Structure 1
Amino acid sequence: MTNIIIAGAVGLILSMLGTPLAIRLFSRRGYGQEVRDDGPSAHLSKKGTPTMGGTVFVLAALLAYAASHLATLEPPTVSGLLVLFLMAGLGAVGFLDDFIKIYKQRSLGLRSGAKALGQLVVGAVFAVLVMRFPNVYGITPAQDKLSFLRDFGPAIGIFFFTLWVLVMIVGFSNAVNLTDGLDGLASGATATVLGAYVLIGNWQLRNNCIDNLGPNCYWVRDPLDLAVVAAAVLGGLIGFLWWNAPPARIFMGDTGSLALGGVLAGLAITTRTQLLLIILAGMCVIITCSVIIQVGFFKMTGKRVFRMAPLQHHFELKGWAETTIVIRFWLIAGLCAAVGLGLFYVEWMPKS
């Protein structure tokens, strides 16, 4: 628990103090947000707001994780470093996208193909490393009684497992990216999922088959350190949200949204709760589905289901205030995380 508290506290302090410095630095250099011409008219006033704020909480999380291990003299683990690598790698792809937007003064950064390629390269390296350092040590399916909803592991075959990991990483990094459309929306929605993973890591530690073989236990490597990673990112994100809440003084940009999506996917894969993440991050999934529905229905019929996609912009065009949308979506995100945790606990409960 000491590691978790230190990681969360250091991440919070560094991000809370570092974000206003980033705001001043980015403002001086003219690193302002470009706004789509076809977006809601209310967004025109946001043009020029400093962006790339994700660099602050990504760096804060990395330093917080290091500080927690230095303070407790415990070495970092493979699982923790893998998730942090995924966060930093996708954050670098997002940073390049944001920088191109600023440099060329347009709302489009990397071309969709180039961005997808960057995500796939980082995801492929992560997948290879996950298989190089397996999570489960030579157990049989009969022994593995608590793999939530029978999530997928290397046992399904190297090719299919790699493909599944790539789908998870690209899917959730883009899902958080689509959610990042209103001040504080993605920050708050993602924070609830990270909080859930702090609890999941603790619970898996207390019921870990490797250290405490019992009738209901988890074959998960390094659950405590995964909770430390979640706490470090959560602390950094809360510190950033202080300045990102409506009206935002800084945006996370693709730097932050892709990094956060990577953290969620990485935590799900390493804690073996891959399918559970669909419920925990239900708000991001709903928003992503709204885009898929909108695009698919328009291609088939030439008509739109929503006034604008992603879903949050539909409600903007209906006249909802931005803060109303953000708070209500936060509530839905919290409910999704609560339902996911409930299902996670129910599966663990001893069967009579």
Structure 2
Amino acid sequence: MQLDFLVAFLVTLVITLLVMPGVIRYLHKIKFGQTEREEGLASHKVKNGTPTMGGIVFILVPILVFALMRPAALTQSSIQIVILAYVGYGLIGFIDDYLIVVKKNNEGLRPGVKFALQSLLAVVFFLMYRTTASTEVILPLVGWRFDLGWLYFFLVFLMFTAESNAVNLTDGLDGLCAGVSIVALFPYIIFSLLQGERSLALFLLCVVGSLLGYLRFNLHPAKIFMGDTGSLAIGGLLAAVAMVTKQELLLVIIGGVFVIEVLSVVIQVTHFKRTGKRVFKMAPIHHHFELCGMKETKVVTLFWCMGFVFALIGLLLGVM
């Protein structure tokens, strides 16, 4: 690792570690606290009032550090798409969090409105990307290339909307989403370096540094949550970086934990509507493990390990 990468990582990590305690105190002061769902686990009720919107820190800090270290890179289309996706989806999450905090419930943005905003951003990023890059996708392992033409739009649309919602669903246990997200970002740092996209790799490393700093305060018992502000931002970031590195299909593998989480919800809802019975004790599936008797910390550790395996498989497929 060269000096600028090490500096970027350490600076974002240290700034986040220094800033976060003040942010936590401020959010406590203005009563921007989490409201657990009434139908949620009884053991999670103690989390009511824990400050949320912590994602603001690990969105802003990496961008500011990166802008100071690589100002010229901000003109690159790939960097613009990735940063705008990170901020754009984070803004949707911020609006959702703000409404939840103000109303003191977990309704927030209506699902239709949230999906419409996510869809709009997906269209914007597709149009931005289409002006500078091809609509080819690469089949992992064999390296075959397929030009999807306008069908590529539907792939991008699915990536952004599905990934942002999947990461959002994963943010249900202390440290779970942040840890899995850190692991999922590393293959894309490697892909960026192999493709000569050093600025993109540097930015992603800044995000990892800030996420690690946030994780210090999000481990059980969490002192702050990322909220939809953070989870939607991470989902948008992962989709954007998968697109600009032309590793779109590998996102399903690298983000395998997120895929499992969203599939558990789809399976649960579909099966319940058809039969009136549940497949899992509770969805997303991390709550099922809790209700089976596993401690929250053990569930998180298990999912981190799963995320590492998925990321490693995706990385190997991407470099072979």
Q: 1:21 to 1:135 in 2, by over 3 A?
A: farther
C-alpha distance in structure 1 between counterparts of 2:74 and 2:112, whole Å: 38
Distance change in 2, residues 1:261/1:185 (3 Å): same
TM-score (ref. length: structure 1):
0.86
Distance in 2 (CA, whole Å) between partners of 1:67 and 1:248 is 31
Assess if the C-alpha contact under 8 Å between 1:52 and 1:252 holds in 2: yes
Q: Confirm or deny that 1:46 pairs with 2:20.
A: no
Q: How big is the shift at 1:345?
A: 2.3
Instruction: Give the distance between the partners of 1:236 and 1:168, measured in 2 at CA.
Output: 24
Report the CA distance shift for 1:44/1:152 in structure 2 as closer, same or farther (over 3 A). Answer: farther
Quick one: which of 236, 245, 250 aligns to 1:271? Answer: 245
Q: Which blocks of at least 5 consecutive residues in structure 2 are unaligned? A: none
Task: Name 1:123's counterpart in structure 2.
Answer: 122
Distance (Å, rounded) in 2 between the aligned partners of 1:151 and 1:197: 20
2:161 counterpart of 1:187? no
Cα shift at 1:65: 1.5
Alignment deviations for residues 172-194 of structure 1 (CA, whole Å, 9 cap, x no partner) = 00010000000010000010011
Match of residue 110 from structure 2: 111
Question: 1:166 is matched with which residue: 157, 168, 171?
Answer: 157
Contact 1:98 1:255 (C-alpha < 8 Å) held by counterparts: yes
- The 1-side partners of 2:293 and 2:125 are apart by 43
User: How far apart are 1:54 and its partner, in Å?
Assistant: 0.3
CA–CA distance in structure 1, aligned partners of residues 225 and 109 of structure 2: 18
Paired residue type of 1:8: F
- TM-score under structure 2 length normalisation: 0.94
Residue 286 (structure 1) aligns with = 260
**Which residue identity lines up with residue 282 of structure 1 in the other structure?**
G
- Residue 32 of structure 2: aligned partner: 31
Letter in 1 for 2:161: V
How many pairs does the alignment contain? 318
CA distance in 2, matches of 1:251, 1:121: 26
Partner of residue 189, structure 2:
198
Aligned partners of 1:129, 1:8: CA distance in 2, in Å? 28
Gap change, CA 1:345 and 1:292, over 3 Å in 2: same
1:246 is aligned to 220
Percent identity for Structure 1 against Structure 2:
40
- 2:211 corresponds in structure 1 to 237
Unaligned runs of 5+ in 1: 206-222, 347-352
CA 1:169/1:75 → structure 2, altered by over 3 Å: closer, same or farther?
Answer: closer
1:10, 1:67 within 8 Å by CA — same for their partners in 2? Answer: no
Q: Which has the larger radius of gyration?
A: 1
Distance 1:50 1:152, change over 3 A: farther
**Is 1:66 aligned to 2:57, yes or no?**
no
Residues 151 and 273 of structure 1 are in contact (CA less than 8 Å); yes or no, is this contact kept in structure 2? Answer: no
- RMSD between aligned residues: 1.9
| Aligned residue in 2 for 1:307 | 281
Contact 1:34 1:105 in 2 (8 A): yes
Q: Which amino acid aligns with 2:188?
A: Y
Over 4 Å off, 4+ runs: 73-76, 149-153
Shift of 1:74: 5.9
Asked if the contact 2:73–2:79 (Cα under 8 Å) also holds between the matched residues in 1, the reply is no
Equivalent residue letter for 2:86: M
Distance 1:315 1:99 in 2: 30
1:133 aligns with 2:132: yes
2:169 alignment partner AA: L
Assess if the C-alpha contact under 8 Å between 1:148 and 1:272 holds in 2.
no
